[in-house]
Structure formats: structure tokens, C-alpha cells
Structure 1
Amino acid sequence: MTGKRQDRARAFASSHLGTATADLLCAIAFLTRLPVPAGSAAHARPLSGAAWAFPLVGLPVGLAAGAAMALADALGVPALAAALLGLALSAFVTGALHEDGLADMLDGAWGGMDRARRLAIMRDSRIGGYGALGLVIATGIKAACLAHLIGGAGAEAAWLALIAAAMVGRGALPAVMHGLGHARETGLAAMAGRPDARRTGIAAAIGIIALPLLLGPGAGVVAGLLAALVAAKLAFVARWKLGGQTGDVLGAIEQAVEITVLLCAAAAIDPV
């Protein structure tokens, strides 16, 4: 009898581990350019079901970008240039998915006079003035924060902050997907679906746990509260101007949360 129970327990654990692995690979395939085997079960998973793993995708992205930044710093590259190299690798790994969303939302939300026109602008592949300026400012702020961390606390602290920002930025997305309706019936966000409350909570919990572990309890708590406020504010703007969320809205929120986390991490460093 005990042997049968152990067999059932092992089968149960194996099944859930396989499902979790498939979810993680599904999230990686969607949010990055990292290779996922063509025959993997991940490609058959619904993205809404894999949403809980979104913050975990930030871990390899942050690790890779931080490694490039730390290596550049070790080779004597100026801190600002090292930070920009790390951000460049991050954009390469993700295909600049979230940066593209930020630019499109800025162009659409502030470039159109009504909801239909705003959504049409966001579908346009061309970048406008709001989007271009927004990307420059966003990248500049992130690079300045990382350079400040490198100079004030070392490349390791900047690396940890970059990982935290990448994880929390992606961890905020399921909550927006769950709580905010779609602005249009077609498109990336509509295709992804709406994750349930349990998966949304798991994603949020991973981000909440990551912040104090990577930034320290003080900066971590402040960063978590401000990141939640920023995500909620942008979700409100999306509902007001667009009628709901789209893939571009999710990208913009991810970038805004990353910036918030990095600003908090940099502000926590004692001035030299």
C-alpha cells in the first residue's frame, strides 16, 4: 500500500514538474529569442496558463545582460558605456519586445485624437516622435541608474538590480492581463488570453520575493510599492485612452516597472 502511494506521489510530482517546465519554456519562447526545441510541449501551452512563469524569464535575461555589463566594467569600460552594453544585450535577447511596446503606446496614446485613431497608430510599424523620444529617455534613465550603481556599489550591485528589474517588470504583466480587458478583439494580448487569479498571484509573489532578496529589504519594499503604483497608473491610462490593454500596453508597463525598480535601487546607494 505504501509503495502504491509513493508511486502515485512520484507520478503526481513528475506530472506537475513537466507542466511547470512546459509553462516556463512557453514563457521563454514568447518573451525572448532564446531557443526552445521545436518539438517541445511548450509550443502547445496556452500563454495565459504560462503567465505565472513570466518573472522567471527575467532571470536569464537579467543574468545575460548583467554579465555583459560586469565584463565590460572589469575591462575598464566607463560605467555608462558598460550599462548601455548590458541594456543592448537585454534588448537583443528579448528582440526589443517591450521597448517596441513602449514606443508604440507613447505614439498611439498621445498621438491620436480618439480611441480608434490611437489604436490604428499603435498598429503602425513606423515610430513617431513620442515613441522615439520615449525610448531615448527610458534607455537613458536605466543606463544612468546602472552607471550610478556601478560607481557607488560596484558592478555586482548593478547586476542584481538589473535582474530584479527584469523579473519584476515581467511579473507585473499577468496582473494587468487579468484585471484589464482587451482594447481590441484581435492582436497579441487577445491571443494570449487572461490568466486566472492563481497564476496572477504566483507571478506577483515571485516578483515580491525577488525584490528584497536582490535589492535588500528597504529598497525592495519601496521598489515593490512604487512599481505596483506605476503599473496601476499606466493600466488606468490604457483603459482611459485605449479602452483596455494590448501587447504594446503590456510592453510599456514592463519598461515603466523596470525603470521604477532601477531608480529605487540607485536612490538607495549612499552618495560617495
Structure 2
Amino acid sequence: MVSIIVDDIRACLRFYSRLPVPAGDDGYVMPDFARASWATPLAGAIIGAVGAGALLVCSILHLPPLVSATCAIGALALATGALHEDGLADVVDGFGGGKTREQKLTIMRDSRLGAYGALALCLSSLLRVFALASALQRGVWLGMFAIVAAGALSRAVGLIPLVTLLPARNDGAGASAPTPSPSALRNALYIGAAVALAPLFGGASLGQTVVAEMAAVGAGLGVSKLAEKQIGGYTGDVLGAAQQAAEIGVLVALSAS
């Protein structure tokens, strides 16, 4: 049982990040989301801890909140290889630049970055940096707990399109991902929501924390609904966009004084 738990967390970490996680005996990269989806928030919390570590170092060096937040968000991007940011940019490029479903999917698969995607990346980064900096003004522990909470809950919320939509393509990372069962998704959301209570220990109020959790779920559902309208389903990029939207939702909610 313990080995299965460790294998699931390790598989999710290897998929979601570039952290030096040893490969298992099977050597696969794509987690079996039908089984391992419960571990996504734990993997997200570990990735978030990378950003929290950057905040701690910046605090020791007495760097200002805005510089500290920028370093932390940069550390997250390095830890994940900007996996989710790439998905967000592709989704915005496709949805904004294509007129038909086929055009949108073609643009999303294009590795080149368009104006819509570039603007989305700028706005996403700015929102996260400034929201985190605002939280840091209330204490470094709140900032550290906020980035861990956002990492955990956003990975769980990023699974929502897998359950609510059908694949928009017959190939690609999204189509090859096994669909979590509703109960597996609930378990992931429960764990993510539990980890997302961590900001309470940094000074956030219970109401603010609940709003942050609701904002994350609402953002994930919103991306899922938009993808259904635009391309009739999900792709791997849509999953990344849902994660980014949820992460922004958590950090912005926790930035309120």
C-alpha cells in the first residue's frame, strides 16, 4: 500500500515537474490518472514548496516583497519547465486567433507564440507576482503557505476538464490521459482543499481561505466550460490553462487585506 502511494506521488511529480524524481520500474511519464489522480495535489504542494523555499531565502536576504514574489514565481516556472504556462498561452492563442474549431486546434498545436498567448503569459505572471507580493506584506509565512496552497489545489482543479469533457482530439497528451473517476476527482479535490487551508497558519482568515478555494474551483470550471464552447472538449493545453486559472484565483483571493 505504501509503495503504491509513493509510486503515485512520484509519477505525478515526474509528469508535472522537472524535479529530479527517480523513475519507477515501469519508467512511464504520464501518470495513470484513473488511479493516481488523488496524488496530484500532493505533487502540487511539493512544487509549491519550491516557491516557498525561494520566498524563505529572499526573506533571509531581506529582499522586498515584489522582488521576493518575482523570484518565487520564477522558481515555480523553473521547477515545472513552464508546463502549465505553455498550455495557457496555447489555449489563449487558439481561442483568440481561430475562427473555427479546426483552426483553433491547429493554432493550439503550433509551437510558435502569438500575440494573444504572449499577453496572457504577461497578465498571468503579473497577477501572480503582485498577488503574492501583497500577501507577503502581511508576513512571509502567509506568502509561503499561500504558494503551497495554490500549488496543491490548482493541480487538483486542473483535472476537472478530464471529468467534465471529452477529448477534443483523438491524439495528443490530453487524449492519452486516463480519465479519473468522479470519486478519484473528489478525493483529489478533498486533499487539495485540505492543503489549501494552510494559509490559516499564516494569518489568513477562514472566510478568505474558503473564498480562495471557491475561486480556484470556479476558475477551473470556467476554463472547462469555455473549452467546451470553443473546441468541444479538452486538450492537454486546456488542463494547463485550468491549473493556471485556479492558481491565480487562490493567490488573488489571499492577497486581499
- The TM-score bracket by the shorter chain reads over 0.9
1:196 positional shift: 1.0
User: Would the alpha carbon gap of residues 20 and 39 (structure 1) be closer, same or farther in structure 2, given more than 3 Å must change?
Assistant: closer
Provide the C-alpha distance between the structure 2 equivalents of 1:38 and 1:169, rounded to a whole number of angstroms.
Answer: 24
2:170 is the counterpart of 1:185: yes
1:194 to 157, 176, 179: 179
1:76 positional shift: 2.3
2:134 to 133, 148, 164: 148
2:110 is the counterpart of 1:121: no
Provide the C-alpha distance between the structure 1 equivalents of 2:89 and 2:160, rounded to a whole number of angstroms.
Answer: 21
User: Would the alpha carbon gap of residues 69 and 213 (structure 1) be closer, same or farther in structure 2, given more than 3 Å must change?
Assistant: closer
The residue correspondences of 1:225-236 to structure 2 (distance < 5 A) are 225-236=214-225
1:239 to 214, 228, 249: 228
- Is the CA contact (8 Å cut-off) linking 1:212 and 1:219 kept in structure 2? no
Provide the C-alpha distance between the structure 2 equivalents of 1:48 and 1:36, rounded to a whole number of angstroms.
Answer: 21
1:266 positional shift: 0.6
CA RMSD of aligned residues (A): 1.5
1:107 to 83, 93, 100: 93
- Partner residue in 2 for 1:211: 196
Segments ≥4 residues shifted beyond 3 Å: 38-42
- Is the CA contact (8 Å cut-off) linking 1:145 and 1:263 kept in structure 2? yes
- Is the CA contact (8 Å cut-off) linking 1:187 and 1:247 kept in structure 2? yes
CA offsets per residue over residues 213-247 of structure 1, 9 Å max, x none? 33442112111222222211111110000110111
2:210 to 191, 216, 221: 221
Q: Amino acid of the residue matched to residue 240 of structure 1?
A: K
Provide the C-alpha distance between the structure 2 equivalents of 1:67 and 1:244, rounded to a whole number of angstroms.
Answer: 37
- Is the CA contact (8 Å cut-off) linking 1:189 and 1:246 kept in structure 2? yes
Provide the C-alpha distance between the structure 2 equivalents of 1:47 and 1:26, rounded to a whole number of angstroms.
Answer: 10
- Partner residue in 1 for 2:34: 48
Unaligned runs of 5+ in 1: 1-15
Q: Amino acid of the residue matched to residue 14 of structure 2?
A: A
What's the TM-score once normalised by structure 1's chain length?
0.88
- Partner residue in 2 for 1:256: 245
The residue correspondences of 1:132-143 to structure 2 (distance < 5 A) are 132-143=118-129
What's the TM-score once normalised by structure 2's chain length?
0.93
CA offsets per residue over residues 125-146 of structure 1, 9 Å max, x none? 0000011011111100111011
Provide the identity percentage: 36
- Is the CA contact (8 Å cut-off) linking 1:219 and 1:265 kept in structure 2? yes
- Is the CA contact (8 Å cut-off) linking 2:155 and 2:243 kept in structure 1? yes
